[in-house]
Structure formats: structure tokens, C-alpha cells
Amino acid sequence: MKSALVTSGYVFLAFICLVLLYFLASFVLSRLSVAPEPNTKKEVSIYILTNGVHTDLVVPVKNDVYDWRLYVKYEHTLAKDSTNRFVAFGWGDKGFYLETPTWADLKVSTAFKAVSGLSSSAIHATFYKSLREGEACRKIDMSREQYGRLVKFIQRRFDLDENGNTIFIKTTANYGEDDAFYEAKGSYNLFYTCNTWANEGLKACGQKACVWTPFYNGIFYHYKK
């Protein structure tokens, strides 16, 4: 009995140490920055947007580089509003997106699958007419060539059908009237979260980014006004 208690104590202590190490690594590596590419032309404006948990990459619905209506459809949203000018992309755990509208709805099984990488993922696309800069929204200017790299980065995360089309997820779990969900590639886990994905997107197009972060505030730390 005593031996079992001692073993349990060591296991619990090891778990606490791992949790502390995870948060310490997150803090340190999120403060270390990847420098932006120098001498960048300001030809396309994108945004990073957070709801306090997720980070989305927000891009023009259409410009001379790419038309996102080939991948995401206004008609997949409840509003079907074709006057929206921007679309935000977030990648994450499918269970969290579709089964957890609030933290009160979080199930242990959903959380376990998410942190362990055992569940599937989804792209959450949200249309906007305009965006206003603030603590939760930052504008980033880049060249057309850099934006083309970001387009390819986002495209690669979509799962496609045999005809090369995105796979719309029919659901009633929409966050509002201007969003839709799509099947995605990859698995969410403790070390590759929705915010890690967004941070990797910034790296892919030569912008300021963290070395690594699982949290939104790691990204926004480097975009303080």
C-alpha cells in the first residue's frame, strides 16, 4: 500500500513537472521572434484576429493574386452575404469546433482526443465586411509574392475530394451567420494547436512570428502597437 502511494506521488509530481515545462517552453519560445523578411513591398493587407483563444488569418476574399471563392462559398453560410470582403481562416480540432460552443460544453473525451492528436481537424472560415484594428486585430502588409505563399499555406491544410474540391461540413454548430466549416488535414495536439498553425502561416509568408507558440498571446506579443 505504501509503495503504491509513493509511486502515485512520483507519477503526479512528474505530471506537474511536465505541465510546468510545457508552459515554460511556451513562454520562452513565444517571446523569441523570427525576423520578418526585409524590404517588403506593401501590396496586400491581411489581418491576424483572435477571440481570446484562437488566432485566425484574415485575407481578402478576392484580389489580383487569388480568389478564395474557389475554396469557400458564401452560400455555405447562413447569411449567404456576397458583399463580404474578407475571409478569416482558422484551423483546429474538429470536436472543439463542432461540439464545444462554450467551455461549459467541453467533454473530457473531446479534450483528450484534441490534446493527444487522436481526432480529426477542420477549417473554420468566417466572412467579414470590414475589420477594425485593435488589441484583438492587427493589420499586416506584405508583397503579392509573400501573399501568394500564404495562399498556398492555407490551401494545403484543406482536405479535398477526388475532384479537387473542398469538403463542406454541414452542421448547426455555426458561430454566427457568416461562417462555415470544411474538412481539413492534420491533427491538433498539445504541440501543434490552432495558434501554432497561424504562427506557421506567418512564417511561411515572411512575417514576424514566434519560434513556437500554442497560444494566441504568443503571436500577438510580437504585434503590439
Domain boundaries, the chain: 32-221
Average pLDDT, the chain: 91
For the cut 80, the answer to whether the pLDDT of residue 70 exceeds it is: yes
Give the pLDDT mean for 28-41.
95
pLDDT of residue 225: 72
For the cut 70, the answer to whether the pLDDT of residue 201 exceeds it is: yes
Q: Measured between alpha carbons, how far is 138 from 56 in angstroms, rounded to an integer?
A: 11
**pLDDT exceeding 70 applies to what percent of the chain?**
87
Could you tell me the pLDDT band of residue 110, with boundaries at 50, 70 and 90? low
For the cut 70, the answer to whether the pLDDT of residue 53 exceeds it is: yes
Burial class (CB in 10 A: 0-12, 13-18, 19+), 2: exposed
8 or 181, greater pLDDT: 181
pLDDT of residue 135: 95
Provide the grid cell at 126: 468566417
Do strands 44-50 and 33-34 pair parallel, antiparallel, or not at all (unpaired)?
unpaired
Q: Which residues, other chains included, contact 147 with Cβ-Cβ below 8 Å and sequence gap of 6+?
A: 43, 44, 46, 59, 63, 65, 66, 205
Contact 211/32 with Cβ under 8 angstroms?
yes
Q: Indicate the pTM of the whole model.
A: 0.92
For the cut 90, the answer to whether the pLDDT of residue 21 exceeds it is: yes
For the cut 80, the answer to whether the pLDDT of residue 37 exceeds it is: yes
Give the pLDDT mean for 10-30.
88
Give the pLDDT mean for 95-115.
67
For the cut 60, the answer to whether the pLDDT of residue 101 exceeds it is: no
The values of phi and psi at residue 31, to 5°, are -85, -20
Could you tell me the pLDDT band of residue 148, with boundaries at 50, 70 and 90? very high
Single out the residue of 205, 206, 208, 189 nearest to residue 22, CA to CA: 189
Could you tell me the pLDDT band of residue 80, with boundaries at 50, 70 and 90? very high
| DSSP letters spanning 12-50 | HHHHHHHHHHHHHHHHHHHHSEEPPPSS----EEEEEEE
